[in-house]
Amino acid sequence: MAYGYGCAAPAPTHGGSGFLLILVLFILLVIIGTSYAV
């Protein structure tokens, strides 16, 4: 998790908060998917 945040830290120079928003949505999607899988 810390590694993911480390990669997302320099994101504002590339795409701003939009990239961070997509990253958060993707993480939520994975969490929901794994909860349904179990």
User: What is the structure's pLDDT at 4?
Assistant: 46
User: What is the structure's pLDDT at 9?
Assistant: 53
For 12, the domain range is: 2-37
User: What is the structure's pLDDT at 26?
Assistant: 92
User: What is the structure's pLDDT at 35?
Assistant: 82
pLDDT in tens, 1-38: 444 444 455 545 555 567 778 888 899 999 988 887 77
Q: Where are the alpha helices (DSSP H) in the chain?
A: 2-8, 17-37
Q: What is the pTM of this model?
A: 0.46
Tally of domains in the chain? 1
User: What is the structure's pLDDT at 34?
Assistant: 87
User: What is the structure's pLDDT at 22?
Assistant: 84
CB 19 within 8 A of CB 8: yes
